[in-house]
Amino acid sequence: MRYLYYPGCSAEATGRAYDISTRALMAKLGVELIELDDWNCCGATSYFSVRELDSFAIAARNMAIAQQQGDEDLVAICNACYTTLSKTNRYMNDSDEVFKAVNGALGAVGRSYDGTKRVRHIMDVLVNDVGLESIAGKVTRRLTGIKVAPYYGCQYSRPMGTFDDPEFPTTMDAFFKALGAEVVDYPSKVKCCGGMMMMTKEDAALRMCHELLKTAADKGADVMVAACPLCEMNLEAYQPRVNAAFGTHFKIPVMYFTQLAGLAFGVEPKKLAIDLQIVSCDDVLAAIPA
Amino acid sequence: MAEEKSGAKIGVYICHCGTNIAGKVNVEEVTKWAATQPNVAVAREYKYMCSDPGQDLIKNDIKELGITRAVVAACSPTMHEPTFRKAASDGGLNPYLLQMANIREHCSWVTIDPAAATAKAKRILSAQIHRLPLNESLDPIEVPVNHDVLVVGGGIAGIEAALKLSATGKHVTLVERNPSIGGHMAMFDKTFPTLDCAACILTPKMSALGKDPNITLMAYSEVEYVEGYVGNFTVKIRKKARYVNTDTCTGCGACQEACVVRKVRSEFDQGLGFRSAIYIPFAQAVPLRATIDPTKCLTLSKGKCKQQSCVPACGPGAIDFEQKDEVVEIDVGAIIMATGFELWDATQESRYGYGRLDNVITSLEFERISNASGPTGGEIVCKNGEAPKSVAILHCVGSRDENYQEFCSRVCCMYSLKFSHLIKEHLPETEVYELYIDMRCYGKNYEEFYKRLMDEGVNFIRGRAAEVTDVALSPEEEGHLVVKTEDTLLGIVRRIPADMVILSAGLSPAHDAKEVSQVFGFGCSANGFYLERHPKLEPVATVTDGIFIAGCCQYPKDIPDTVAQAGAAAAGVLGLVDNDTVKVEPTISYIDPEKCSGCHICVGLCPHNAIQYNEEKNAAEVIEAACKGCGVCVSACGSDVPQQRGYLDTQIFAEIEGALAV
Amino acid sequence: MTELATTPQAKAVHKAFIDDVMRMPAGEKIKICQQCGTCTGSCPTSYLMDYGPREVIGAFRAGMIDKVVKSNTIWLCTSCYYCTVRCPAGIKITDLMYELKRLGMKYDLLPKSSTNPAMTKYFIDSVRKHGRNHEVELIGKFVMTKNPGLALKFTGVGAKLFFGGRLPLFAKNIRGRDELGKIAAYLEAEEAKVQ
């Protein structure tokens, strides 16, 4: 199995651990990831706020490069990248105007894109292409007894809803069940973490993260897993600030789901960048049966 | 005014239709022009041709001028063709020797420039003037009519229709797929706005039907096959095996007490209560007979029930595990479909937590809880057996929603109000919240009912609930469900703690409505309900003559409207089966057996199943009563054999020549 | 229907809004809003907004959309898409919010209370410069200009992130970074033609 791989901007900075652990995990599963050549920022939410066509066009630049680079699907790890690239595909296909404008803009730099490059979320690839049975079969260290709260975040299945349900997605739950973990019933799993608001309106974002952490703690979660660098950052790096603002004492490790998953396949914590975590994961690491 | 060899003498009548035509078309000019056309004996104009004096013009000209053909240039034939054909007939002229030229819907109403409209009117009229000499006299075809009627569905609509028909002496067969008649109404507690007990007003009708000598009740049966046409339907009905002899069973219910399989989720109780594998669905069932569920009975599904305790328990010895389905065939003249609705599956709206969160229930489930004969004995309680201190009723679940059902389900606002009242009546201290977008209280005494509920202290919040959750964000919310909604009249978001959430789910078409409609040969509308012939003027007829629809199978509606429609359908049926024959339009297809090569193409193509293959003659044959004159066979035949009377090729070509001649 | 659009600016913003919305896929659905409030009820930040999403559409209908653009509303939208997914009329409300942000940027009608527009601008600058969003540059610039106090709050977290290698100081430039500028220039020129 081969995929073109779109790491996303955070993967080089705050989200480094996500990139590192993804590569390690996929290597273990025998999936080849070919990094997209000269990929640019997808634009995320910010570009839409300035000019919609710009956003589609720069996102499409990535897909145009991908079409040149190979026939494989383009996999994104970050929810926002996945949604922005998918949205570009959908709007280009739904609107002649968008299609023409995007190709006009790409034409100005000698590129073109026909709107057909399939964009996949990494969890979609894992659950639907690699397959849960195959994954369960390859597990060497079952996560028995580890209570996992899967945090999907907003842009995992909204608004596209292509590979999982927008209101109650279950792919991440199923994935961790296949790894032997005890998946906690976590109703807040698709609530917003505040995203960029953590920088621009901190009190709102802290309140949202407080609800997410509290529900996870109330349900007895040992660890939360996330699929988006911004979500992970807000829940983990800002956990001390949540505690300060609300008088709580959360110490919940928040990992990228690929980090926790990698452990189940016997990858060393260091190779999964678990040493880069801010909230200590030692308890979880110790709890996983050998 | 040259006369053709055919000797045709055409009368031309041009209608002003007030200013509808005359306001755009220069009627005077067209009349003068028409008088100069070939075969035209007289050309007249009149303000309102459809009026009595207008019609008299035609009649008089037939008598006094001896005209042999007529054309009325006026509105669409769908408006007044029957009127003018009758006028011709009254005047002594065969009605099919009169044509209409549509210079209103096809001309004055759709053309902006008066000169263009006048020219077009001439062309339209010319087409008819050219074809009229080729028209032939035709006589309506009379087909015998069977006086018996089939009613499909034993809810309030079907029951009412059957009783009304029986009262006129007609014989009715009523087929119901469930073991008992009664439909959804039998499940309700009280009905709005009178708060009549549903069972109290329904069971007398059910009982009367069960005893009615004119009505053959086939419960636990389904229609498998229908063939035929208006006045002459043959229907195959499968009477499913109850594994109980219905002649000897007395409905005493001893068997269901004795049965070893006791915990089957009761369909009648919406899964909230239990029944046995052998069961009587509810105490007032008609027919009051036991039925064995073959999927749950150990003997029938697994071949082993050691005790078979139902057998000794049954006094008359009515249990019969060897019983088989029975297929019967009946002939009827007309059919009324009254197959009702299903409640929209609220699991689909996952943000309300139905099926995931305890104490989120649907409207039908609440009816059973509130009903004294229901699984809780009429006590309004949560799953833990305690009375709720706060109940939220959410409107428009699955309705008015592009993601699910776009239409408004019409009865939910009223039944929600009813629920509020019932809760306040049972539990005066409980807070009740109604979350609505609009309050649709359109019927007689409905608005007054709404005011009454306001008076009873129900909290009305205008806002469509965003979600129902069990995640508590404050101590007050612990242990409760929380309904999050914007109160749009105040412009604030509210979190309402509730112990019970009732989802006012919409009414959906039955899951197999499409398949059923195809068995009978009529259609469904885009929203999945059965399609009526005309949304305003013919709400209970279908496009298929002889088949009528009534009740929620046509569209969601309350009980008064259902009963009214059932009566209307019965009247429609009587208009048909009260006569010995029914007249069928003669402008239908005719296949000359000498010319037909027997290729069968038209047989399969006919959308009305009106062509059958005659083995003896080795030719296709049109069933005259079923043919609707659509022309498919005429165009499909490679040898140009089928000819549609009144629309012969020669006639159509003459119209074209006439239109081009101007 | 729009009698509250009394100033020339109000009229201009109103017209720009409706023209753009009508050109978006499913944009015309804005006309069938039932004002049911599902959007506002689902929105995680509506409790802070001057105008909730439902009121935004109501305000547009009354000719007050310029007031919405000037309010804190649109910059509080996190793009969580709950409103879009749940709207029974099929209105893409998140896209409407983006459109209003664009109008805010275009007409320079930015609320003083929100630092979000600044963050957005720095994001775009960073991407134009490097081809990718350089997080340190973005956060650094933002904190320095808009919220120095945040720098103090952030040092604890920042230090941990930095020493964890999660805040690289130097940006990687992509080879094709000029392309992004050219794309933008092309689209600006096209837009100017239409106007």
C87: amino acid identity, one letter: C
Task: Take residue B87 and report the two structure tokens written for it.
Answer: 């006028």
At B492 the three-state DSSP class reads: strand
Element (H, E) at B142: strand B141-144
pLDDT digits (tens, 9 = 90+) for B601-642: 999 899 888 899 999 999 999 988 788 889 999 999 989 999
- A101 — contact with chain C (CB < 8 Å)? yes
* Confidence grade of residue B3 (pLDDT, cut at 50, 70, 90): very low
Same domain, B101 and B210: no
Same domain, B479 and B456: yes
Of B454, B472, B507, which closes a domain? B507
Of B93, B120, B138, which closes a domain? B138
Evaluated on CA atoms B40, B44, B49, B52, the torsion sign reads negative
Structural domain contains residue A163 = yes
Average pLDDT, stretch C12-25? 92
- Distance (Å, whole) CA A16 – CA C162: 12
Same domain, B269 and B385: no
- pLDDT given for residue A192 in this prediction: 96
Task: Take residue B335 and report the two structure tokens written for it.
Answer: 């059919």
Asked if residues A252 and A188 have their Cβ atoms less than 8 Å apart, the reply is no
Prediction ipTM score: 0.90
Same domain, B606 and B526: no
Average pLDDT, stretch B504-513? 98
Give strand pairing partners of B581: B144
- Distance (Å, whole) CA C182 – CA C189: 11
For residues B82, B85, B86, B87, the Cα torsion angle rounded to the nearest 10 degrees is: 130
DSSP one-letter code for A222: S
Task: Take residue B349 and report the two structure tokens written for it.
Answer: 């709206």
Q: What total of structural domains would you count in chain A?
A: 2
- Distance (Å, whole) CA B368 – CA B187: 7
Domain span at residue B260 reads 254-313
Instruction: Check which CATH number belongs to the domain holding B181 and give it.
Output: 3.50.50.60
- Distance (Å, whole) CA C72 – CA C115: 10
B196: amino acid identity, one letter: D
Phi then psi for residue B408, to 5 deg, are -85, 135
| Cα-based distances in Å from B359 to B119, B469, B500 | 72, 11, 5
Cβ-in-10-Å burial (0-12, 13-18, 19+) of B487 comes to middle
Structural domain contains residue B318 = no
pLDDT digits (tens, 9 = 90+) for C73-130: 999 999 999 999 999 999 999 999 999 999 999 899 998 878 888 888 888 888 888 9
- A185 — contact with chain B (CB < 8 Å)? no
- A211 — contact with chain B (CB < 8 Å)? yes
Smallest CA–CA distance, residue A1 to chain C, in Å, is: 27
Of B456, B484, B507, which closes a domain? B507
Same domain, A235 and A267: yes
Nearest to C127 among A10, A41, A237 (CB): A41
Closest CA to A257 of A82, A25, A29: A25
pLDDT digits (tens, 9 = 90+) for B545-594: 899 999 999 999 999 999 999 999 999 999 999 999 998 889 999 999 99
Element (H, E) at B483: strand B481-487
Smallest CA–CA distance, residue A211 to chain B, in Å, is: 7
Asked if residues B506 and B344 have their Cβ atoms less than 8 Å apart, the reply is yes
Predicted confidence (pLDDT) at residue A262 exceeds the cutoff of 70: yes
- The C-alpha angle C90, C93, C98, rounded to 5 degrees, equals 145
Sequence-distant (6+) residues with CB within 8 A of C19 are none
- Distance (Å, whole) CA A151 – CA A186: 8
pLDDT digits (tens, 9 = 90+) for B632-657: 999 999 899 999 999 999 999 999 99
Smallest CA–CA distance, residue A29 to chain C, in Å, is: 26
Structural domain contains residue B629 = yes
Average pLDDT, stretch B470-478? 92
| Cα-based distances in Å from B432 to B42, B411, B467 | 76, 19, 17
Structural domain contains residue B247 = no
* Confidence grade of residue A230 (pLDDT, cut at 50, 70, 90): very high
Report which of residues C146 and A286 the model is more confident about.
A286
Closest CA to B209 of B273, B154, B168, B147: B154
**Would you give the distance in Å from CA B77 to the centre of its chain?**
26
Nearest to B471 among A167, A168, A215 (CB): A215
- B347 — contact with chain A (CB < 8 Å)? no
Predicted confidence (pLDDT) at residue A99 exceeds the cutoff of 70: yes
Instruction: Check which CATH number belongs to the domain holding A34 and give it.
Output: 1.20.1050.140
Nearest to B486 among C34, C52, C82 (CB): C52
B389: amino acid identity, one letter: K
| Cα-based distances in Å from B232 to B224, B334, B337, B577 | 17, 8, 16, 10
- Distance (Å, whole) CA A140 – CA A162: 31
Question: Does the beta-carbon distance from C135 to A13 stay under 8 Å?
Answer: yes
At B464 the three-state DSSP class reads: coil
Structural domain contains residue A46 = yes
Asked if residues B423 and B458 have their Cβ atoms less than 8 Å apart, the reply is no
Structural domain contains residue A218 = yes
Per DSSP bridges, beta strands B10-15 and B69-74 are parallel
Asked if residues A122 and A256 have their Cβ atoms less than 8 Å apart, the reply is no
- pLDDT given for residue B2 in this prediction: 39
- A12 — contact with chain C (CB < 8 Å)? yes
Structural domain contains residue B259 = yes
Same domain, A281 and A242: yes
- A157 — contact with chain B (CB < 8 Å)? no
Sequence-distant (6+) residues with CB within 8 A of B28 are B45
pLDDT digits (tens, 9 = 90+) for B14-46: 999 999 999 999 999 999 999 999 999 999 999
Measured between beta carbons, the chain A residues lying within 8 angstroms of C176 are 38, 40, 61, 109
Structural domain contains residue A197 = yes
- B595 — contact with chain A (CB < 8 Å)? no
Task: Take residue B474 and report the two structure tokens written for it.
Answer: 């404050």
- A97 — contact with chain B (CB < 8 Å)? no
Same domain, B625 and B604: yes
Q: Return mean pLDDT, chain A.
A: 93
The three state secondary structure string of C122-159 is HHHHHHHHHCCCCHHHHHHHHHHHHCHHHHHHHHHHHH
Same domain, B395 and B276: no
* Confidence grade of residue C151 (pLDDT, cut at 50, 70, 90): low
Give strand pairing partners of A256: A226
Element (H, E) at B12: strand B10-15
Smallest CA–CA distance, residue C38 to chain B, in Å, is: 5
pLDDT digits (tens, 9 = 90+) for C53-69: 999 999 999 999 999 99
Q: Which residue has the tokens 């697994």?
A: B302
Same domain, A71 and A214: no
Same domain, B64 and B204: no
Measured between beta carbons, the chain C residues lying within 8 angstroms of B486 are 37-41, 46, 52, 54
Instruction: Check which CATH number belongs to the domain holding B604 and give it.
Output: 3.30.70.20
Measured between beta carbons, the chain B residues lying within 8 angstroms of C38 are 464-466, 486
B94: amino acid identity, one letter: N
Give strand pairing partners of B157: none
Q: What total of structural domains would you count in chain B?
A: 5
Task: Take residue C180 and report the two structure tokens written for it.
Answer: 């992004």
Structural domain contains residue A45 = yes
Question: Does the beta-carbon distance from C36 to B463 stay under 8 Å?
Answer: yes
At B59 the three-state DSSP class reads: helix
- Distance (Å, whole) CA A123 – CA A142: 19
pLDDT digits (tens, 9 = 90+) for B300-317: 999 999 989 999 999 999
At B236 the three-state DSSP class reads: strand
Q: Percent of chain B at pLDDT above 90? A: 92
Q: Return mean pLDDT, chain C.
A: 89
- B351 — contact with chain A (CB < 8 Å)? yes
- pLDDT given for residue A180 in this prediction: 95
Predicted confidence (pLDDT) at residue B1 exceeds the cutoff of 50: no
Q: Which residue has the tokens 């009528």?
A: B548
DSSP one-letter code for C28: G
Structural domain contains residue B651 = no
Predicted confidence (pLDDT) at residue B5 exceeds the cutoff of 50: no
Structural domain contains residue B662 = no
Structural domain contains residue A19 = yes
Average pLDDT, stretch A219-224? 95
Closest CA to B233 of B174, B162, B148: B148
- pLDDT given for residue C192 in this prediction: 84
- Distance (Å, whole) CA C178 – CA B99: 75
Predicted confidence (pLDDT) at residue B4 exceeds the cutoff of 60: no
Asked if residues B40 and B1 have their Cβ atoms less than 8 Å apart, the reply is yes
DSSP one-letter code for B167: H
Asked if residues A9 and C132 have their Cβ atoms less than 8 Å apart, the reply is yes
* Confidence grade of residue A43 (pLDDT, cut at 50, 70, 90): confident
Sequence-distant (6+) residues with CB within 8 A of B440 are B408, B410, B413, B414
At B204 the three-state DSSP class reads: helix
Structural domain contains residue A80 = yes
Name the region of B182 (left: φ>0; alpha: ψ -120 to 50; beta: rest). left
Same domain, A112 and A22: yes
Of A86, A121, A156, which closes a domain? A121
pLDDT digits (tens, 9 = 90+) for B220-248: 999 999 988 899 999 999 999 999 999 99
At C55 the three-state DSSP class reads: helix
Strands of A119-121's sheet in order across: A32-35, A2-6, A74-76, A119-121
Predicted confidence (pLDDT) at residue A68 exceeds the cutoff of 90: yes
Question: Does the beta-carbon distance from A168 to B471 stay under 8 Å?
Answer: no
Structural domain contains residue B652 = no
Predicted confidence (pLDDT) at residue A44 exceeds the cutoff of 90: no
Give strand pairing partners of B265: B274
Radius of gyration of chain C (CA): 19
Q: Where are the alpha helices (DSSP H) in C26-170?
A: 38-42, 53-62, 65-70, 82-86, 93-106, 116-130, 135-146, 148-163
Average pLDDT, stretch B262-288? 96
Measured between beta carbons, the chain C residues lying within 8 angstroms of B437 are 34-37
Same domain, B418 and B516: no
End-to-end alpha carbon distance in chain C: 26
End-to-end alpha carbon distance in chain A: 29
Predicted confidence (pLDDT) at residue C158 exceeds the cutoff of 90: no
- pLDDT given for residue C150 in this prediction: 66
Structural domain contains residue A126 = no
In chain C, the domains with their CATH numbers are 8-106 (1.10.1060), 116-194 (no CATH)
Length of chain C in terms of residues written = 195
Measured between beta carbons, the chain B residues lying within 8 angstroms of C46 are 486, 493
Same domain, B298 and B429: no
Of A56, A86, A121, which closes a domain? A121
- Distance (Å, whole) CA A67 – CA A63: 6
List the single range of B289-298, B519-528, C184-193 with lowest mean pLDDT. Answer: C184-193
Domain span at residue A168 reads 134-287
Same domain, A138 and A116: no
Predicted confidence (pLDDT) at residue C145 exceeds the cutoff of 80: yes
Same domain, B95 and B193: no
- Distance (Å, whole) CA A232 – CA A151: 9
**Total-model pTM:** 0.88
**Taking an 8 Å Cβ-Cβ cutoff, which residues of chain B contact chain C?**
351, 396, 400-403, 437-438, 462-467, 484-488, 491-493
Asked if residues C63 and C87 have their Cβ atoms less than 8 Å apart, the reply is no
Task: Take residue C99 and report the two structure tokens written for it.
Answer: 């459109």
Same domain, A100 and A182: no
Same domain, A108 and A146: no
Question: Does the beta-carbon distance from B464 to C47 stay under 8 Å?
Answer: no
Same domain, B53 and B184: no
- Distance (Å, whole) CA B46 – CA B456: 63
Same domain, B570 and B594: no
Structural domain contains residue B635 = yes
Instruction: Check which CATH number belongs to the domain holding A193 and give it.
Output: 3.40.50.11810
Closest CA to A59 of A102, A11, A107, A19: A102
Of A65, A89, A121, which closes a domain? A121
